[in-house]
Chains A and B, each alone.
Chain A
Amino acid sequence: MSVLKTSNLKKHYHTGAVVKAVDGIDFEVESGEFVSIVGSSGSGKSTLLHLLGGLDRPTDGTVEINGNLIYAMKDEELTIFRRRNIGFVFQSYNLIPVLSVEENILLPIQLDGNKPDMVFVDRIIETLGIADKRLSMPNQLSGGQQQRVAIARALASKPMIILADEPTGNLDSKSGMDVIGLLKVSGEKFGQTIVLITHNTEIAQMADRTVRIEDGRIVGGASK
């Protein structure tokens, strides 16, 4: 059953000339699947991820998550939907510097006004190997550790989908491989769907499926 589906998804920028960052993408992801999207720099993979996550509005086309057309929603509604269903992992970690590791991880749950499932959160923290850092501040962690916290944060609210945008971009290759390994294990363990953007083919190969994108179009791996 597909949990994520796009139809003729387009994102065009009008900056003098028309830049077609995403140009008519039809794409589906099954529940629990780990998909990597690869492509050269400027191919439109990050824009696609933003559109998948409801962070940007498409020029045309639709994104359907678990049967919900997300761009039919109003801003506030979309924000809440995103909070409950999508987890993000960014290249630059984007941790909140004034919050401790644990507070960063719990933040999305608390923003939704829910009580965190601490047993679940503890398991995530244990799995990601940051149990001894839970009271540390982001500034006190290495890049790899920070990215693990970002992954934990993405997993903690039990979203259906985790969207990871070049999560290893700022890490050395060993740390990068470790992080993706943990992401995969966590995804499997907690039953979450993962869409990962990378330009590292070695990392891409760790996914169940690899989608290749060039000039805003899918050139391979659109379906299983």
Chain B
Amino acid sequence: MKVANKGIIRKLTMRIIGANKWRNFFIVAAITLTAFMITFMFSVGASLYETVQKTPFLMQGDYSHAYLSGQSEENMEAIRSLGYVRYGTYTYRAGTGYLAGFEDGLEMITVNEDSWRHHHIPVFTDIIGSVAKDTSEIMLSRAHLKQMGIEQPFVGMEIPMAFDVGEYAAGTISEHHSETFILAAIYTESVRLRPGNPFTPIFVSESFAERYGHMNIKNMEVRVIFTNQSRAVEYARRLAQDMNLDDDSEVNVHVSLSHQADTGSSTIYAAIAILIASFMTVGFMLIYNVMNISITRDVRFYGLLKTIGTTPRQLRRIVNGQVLLMYTVGLFIGLAAAVLTTLVIIPSLTLVKGPAGAVISFSPLIYLGGAVFTLIAVYLGAWTAARKAARISPVEAAEYTGDQKINKKPRFSVNGKPALMAWRNLFRERKRALIVLLSLFIGSTVFITFMSIANSMDTEGLVADSFDHDICIAPEWGDSGLIDFDRDFIEEITNLTGVREVRELTFGLTAFMDYPQEMAEADIETLGHPPEVVFITGIGSDYFAEINKTMKDPADLAAFERGEIVLVDEAKSLSSLGSSLYDHFPVGTKLYLEVGDESHIPVNTQIDGYHNIRIPFGIITSSRCLRLIMSNTFLESIAAVSGINFLCVNVEEGMYEQVYAAMSDLVDVDILTMFEARRKVEENRMTLLVLGVSISSVLALVGLFNFISLISVGLMARKREFAALESMGMGKGQMRLMLRWEGMIYWIVTIAASVTAGTAIAYGLFRLVANQSPIEFPQFNYPLAPVAIFFCFIVLICTVTPEICYRNMSKRPLAERLRETESIPGVSRLRVHM
């Protein structure tokens, strides 16, 4: 039979909540911190995931999983109807546009509502205007417009542009036109510079393409977004099979999806999972302790409720109701704090930053996850308390005096010694004490781990890995590759006061070769084609001579200059080819190369050694790729290169600032300096430190909350016992000493466990990170000073809390405290009107 008792249960719940303000504070604080940190950790994880997933598309300015050559309308319908295809759209090459301020022409492609919505809106920001529909409408990025000298563009403004059409149309010849277009939409690209393609295409309407006869299958490109990005390669194969595509219509998967490099993200996800588990654990521990103490103190009240007919189920509802209400409050504050922290911290968090910046995720799943995981911790914490309340026997409750029941015979005699009494007192609430110690231990261990990792990070080594030189002047991408520096410019740099030496490099030269069969098969399997490209960095003889000094077996300079020998650029090759580099390309391997993107100049050479060219610049390819170091003299002699596109400069001591300033005046391109890199790496280390200190501080704070609540409530429950001790002559000094010992045992055990087991765990996690991370961790440096400060804080809290509690308690006269029967402060204030 259903009884309408919700009202009275709610009333009881609310009254108990109203009567336990301190308990509520601790529980709401625990829930808030737990919800906040769990949600924030989810945010970091989700943002990292989205950054990894989205960055390649942001870089490209197009969100598509795969591309196909033109298809008939019938085929398009068939593609769209496939279960694993979410969207299938198409675009037409519409010609080449020549915008003012641009040296070369830009590709013009068509957009329609569908392609714009699915492929471009996800990767562009600050979009204003609408999709180009009219023949004279175009869509440009703010980067385009800035290059054109237009600082304040607006939708509807006139854009004069010359363009070539017809070169793609079958049987037509290119025609040159000039026209004034209307700006239909403006958008911001996430990344302006892309290798070989610095700007997005010019978007035009389909009616424009139609006017010039470009709306045909030859000019068409189909773009596909699959239902599951992680299965793009598999779906692309299925798509080719399902559509019976011939070789000319192969499905090309987006490069980022065909080659998933291990960016070390799995370690970060694992760390996030560990931290979430830690937060759940400490949150649960605090809630568990506080709720259990609360129920123990309110035993008489719950017993009374049971006596007058409250069922165990109703009692459980009363306890769970209290916790759920506090959960609602704590969750709300925690989630709000997580949103704010996410907005402030994630954009500057290095570990979630991609080349196009951090993608902040606000997926509802993050907040749902935060709420659910916090609820699990809260529910587990409240479960035993609710069960305890439901199981209270009315008779037992009536006889309850507040004295703890200790049945186990002591193992040692206390002899009236405050320290030994304190030790005995610590274990009167064994489970609660262990939980407090465990939560303090977790906080300390996480702190030691973060600090050790930050302290052991070889920032100097990281910088040195990227820089052989003080300053590098990076090449600029032109429409047909990297732009060579002007000879006069190189001279000017060389003649700057303070410049010690200038090394001239050629970077990014492409060669082709046949890779060993095993590698070819692996790439065919994953990419659909064998690897063929080799990247070459050309260096001067002076640089080679210096490298030679560091080599075990110095190479023959003359043979190097004749191109007979080459060096393998080890680190970059290794990251692309893995350890198979050493199996397939040992010293002495003979190579046949065809050098030059177009010229394919045949070169027979031999690997003579390995070296790392440390320059903070690189080209990413999806395919496996060997990187070689060759002589510039040789490359020039075979006309593979015509100039220098990379400069590395060393400066005289103390002249850095001056040289940097002079260079900045001379060049308009990126100047990459070791000093700046050092600053950035140091910034990253600081971010890790701040994040780590914050996370472990929150964990430690929850642990300390647990300690404070246990001690304060525990001492309150023992007040009559203290009065008895005082009555039999225990001085206040002795009493304080005993309580100080109680606190001291907590910090001694916490510190001892943290220094031993905590350090062992920290070392294990450090090794894990050190093995996975691209950053060098030469040795485990124990963060002595920060850990000492952290421990001092724990000592302070553990010492001061019992002292303050006792001081407050002993303010009342001894006779009054002795007279006081065991009352339940919270319950005594209850006024329940049934």
Which of A1-9, A74-82, A172-180, A214-222 touches B? A74-82
**Chain A interfacial positions (CB closer than 8 Å to B):** 46-47, 50-51, 53, 55-57, 75-76, 79-80, 82-84, 87-88, 90, 92, 94-100, 103, 106-113, 135-140, 153, 157
A61 to chain B, nearest CB (A): 15
* Interface check B405, CB cutoff 8 A: yes
B731 partner residues in chain A, CB cutoff 8 A: 76, 79-80, 83, 111
17 contacts between A and B (CB under 8 A): A50-B818, A53-B727, A83-B731, A90-B724, A97-B405, A97-B721, A98-B406, A98-B428, A99-B414, A99-B421, A100-B410, A103-B410, A106-B416, A109-B416, A110-B414, A111-B728, A140-B407
Take A92-B821, A137-B408 as given contacts and tell me if A55 and B416 are in contact as well, using a CB distance cutoff of 8 Å.
Answer: no
A183 to chain B, nearest CB (A): 17
B478 to chain A, nearest CB (A): 82
* Interface check B655, CB cutoff 8 A: no
Report yes or no: A98 in contact with B815, Cβ–Cβ below 8 A.
Answer: no
A99 to chain B, nearest CB (A): 7
B72 to chain A, nearest CB (A): 88
Take A53-B727, A55-B727, A80-B729 as given contacts and tell me if A135 and B409 are in contact as well, using a CB distance cutoff of 8 Å.
Answer: yes
A12 to chain B, nearest CB (A): 13
Take A55-B818, A137-B408 as given contacts and tell me if A92 and B401 are in contact as well, using a CB distance cutoff of 8 Å.
Answer: yes
Report yes or no: B721 in contact with A90, Cβ–Cβ below 8 A.
Answer: no
Report yes or no: A88 in contact with B410, Cβ–Cβ below 8 A.
Answer: no
B404 partner residues in chain A, CB cutoff 8 A: 97-98, 139
- From the candidates B723, B729, B813, name the one contacting A57 in the complex (CB within 8 A): B813
- From the candidates A50, A100, A107, A138, name the one contacting B409 in the complex (CB within 8 A): A100
A73 to chain B, nearest CB (A): 13
A165 to chain B, nearest CB (A): 8
Q: Which of B401, B414, B733, B734 has the most CB of A within 10 A?
A: B414
* Interface check B297, CB cutoff 8 A: no
A58 to chain B, nearest CB (A): 11
A134 to chain B, nearest CB (A): 11
Report yes or no: B728 in contact with A153, Cβ–Cβ below 8 A.
Answer: yes
* Interface check B403, CB cutoff 8 A: yes
- From the candidates B406, B416, B726, B727, name the one contacting A97 in the complex (CB within 8 A): B406
B730 partner residues in chain A, CB cutoff 8 A: 79, 83, 111
Additional 8 contacts, C-beta under 8 A, given A55-B814, A98-B425, A111-B734: A79-B729, A83-B729, A90-B727, A94-B727, A96-B721, A110-B417, A111-B731, A137-B407
A212 to chain B, nearest CB (A): 21
Take A84-B729, A107-B416, A111-B734 as given contacts and tell me if A137 and B815 are in contact as well, using a CB distance cutoff of 8 Å.
Answer: no
B266 partner residues in chain A, CB cutoff 8 A: none
A90 partner residues in chain B, CB cutoff 8 A: 724, 727, 818
Report yes or no: B815 in contact with A56, Cβ–Cβ below 8 A.
Answer: yes
A57 partner residues in chain B, CB cutoff 8 A: 813
B406 to chain A, nearest CB (A): 5
Write the chain B residue with the least CB distance to A163.
Answer: B727
A53 partner residues in chain B, CB cutoff 8 A: 727
**Chain B interfacial positions (CB closer than 8 Å to A):** 401, 403-410, 413-417, 421, 424-425, 428, 720-721, 723-734, 813-816, 818-819, 821
A76 to chain B, nearest CB (A): 6
- From the candidates B410, B732, B819, name the one contacting A79 in the complex (CB within 8 A): B732
Write the chain B residue with the least CB distance to A165.
Answer: B818
Assembled-state Cα–Cα distance A83/B690 (Å)? 54
Report yes or no: B815 in contact with A55, Cβ–Cβ below 8 A.
Answer: yes
Report yes or no: A88 in contact with B815, Cβ–Cβ below 8 A.
Answer: no
A151 to chain B, nearest CB (A): 13
Assembled-state Cα–Cα distance A106/B728 (Å)? 11
Assembled-state Cα–Cα distance A94/B401 (Å)? 11
Assembled-state Cα–Cα distance A186/B407 (Å)? 29
Write the chain B residue with the least CB distance to A91.
Answer: B821
Q: Which of B401, B732, B734, B818 has the most CB of A within 10 A?
A: B818
B734 partner residues in chain A, CB cutoff 8 A: 111
Write the chain B residue with the least CB distance to A108.
Answer: B728
B728 partner residues in chain A, CB cutoff 8 A: 82-83, 87-88, 107-108, 111, 153
Assembled-state Cα–Cα distance A140/B405 (Å)? 8
Assembled-state Cα–Cα distance A84/B731 (Å)? 12
Assembled-state Cα–Cα distance A94/B415 (Å)? 18
Assembled-state Cα–Cα distance A79/B726 (Å)? 7
A46 to chain B, nearest CB (A): 7
- From the candidates A75, A79, A98, A136, name the one contacting B421 in the complex (CB within 8 A): A98
Q: Which of B720, B814, B821 has the most CB of A within 10 A?
A: B814
A41 to chain B, nearest CB (A): 13
Assembled-state Cα–Cα distance A53/B819 (Å)? 14
A140 partner residues in chain B, CB cutoff 8 A: 407
Assembled-state Cα–Cα distance A98/B414 (Å)? 10
Report yes or no: B729 in contact with A112, Cβ–Cβ below 8 A.
Answer: yes
B815 partner residues in chain A, CB cutoff 8 A: 47, 50-51, 55-56
Assembled-state Cα–Cα distance A109/B729 (Å)? 9
A37 to chain B, nearest CB (A): 15
Assembled-state Cα–Cα distance A41/B731 (Å)? 31
Take A97-B403, A97-B404, A103-B413 as given contacts and tell me if A88 and B428 are in contact as well, using a CB distance cutoff of 8 Å.
Answer: no
Report yes or no: A110 in contact with B415, Cβ–Cβ below 8 A.
Answer: yes
Assembled-state Cα–Cα distance A92/B721 (Å)? 11
Q: Which of A76, A95, A108, A136 has the most CB of B within 10 A?
A: A108
A122 to chain B, nearest CB (A): 16
Report yes or no: A139 in contact with B727, Cβ–Cβ below 8 A.
Answer: no
Assembled-state Cα–Cα distance A157/B728 (Å)? 10
Take A92-B401, A137-B406, A137-B407 as given contacts and tell me if A111 and B729 are in contact as well, using a CB distance cutoff of 8 Å.
Answer: yes
A43 to chain B, nearest CB (A): 14
Report yes or no: A94 in contact with B721, Cβ–Cβ below 8 A.
Answer: yes
B724 partner residues in chain A, CB cutoff 8 A: 90, 94-96
Assembled-state Cα–Cα distance A103/B729 (Å)? 15
B136 to chain A, nearest CB (A): 91
- From the candidates B403, B416, B732, name the one contacting A111 in the complex (CB within 8 A): B416
Report yes or no: B733 in contact with A139, Cβ–Cβ below 8 A.
Answer: no
Report yes or no: A76 in contact with B732, Cβ–Cβ below 8 A.
Answer: yes
B503 to chain A, nearest CB (A): 77
Report yes or no: B720 in contact with A82, Cβ–Cβ below 8 A.
Answer: no
Assembled-state Cα–Cα distance A111/B416 (Å)? 5
B723 partner residues in chain A, CB cutoff 8 A: 94
Report yes or no: A139 in contact with B729, Cβ–Cβ below 8 A.
Answer: no
B416 partner residues in chain A, CB cutoff 8 A: 106-107, 109-111, 113
B591 to chain A, nearest CB (A): 81
Assembled-state Cα–Cα distance A180/B256 (Å)? 91
B421 partner residues in chain A, CB cutoff 8 A: 98-99
A139 partner residues in chain B, CB cutoff 8 A: 403-407
A108 partner residues in chain B, CB cutoff 8 A: 728-729
B816 partner residues in chain A, CB cutoff 8 A: 56
Take A99-B424, A108-B728, A111-B729 as given contacts and tell me if A94 and B720 are in contact as well, using a CB distance cutoff of 8 Å.
Answer: yes
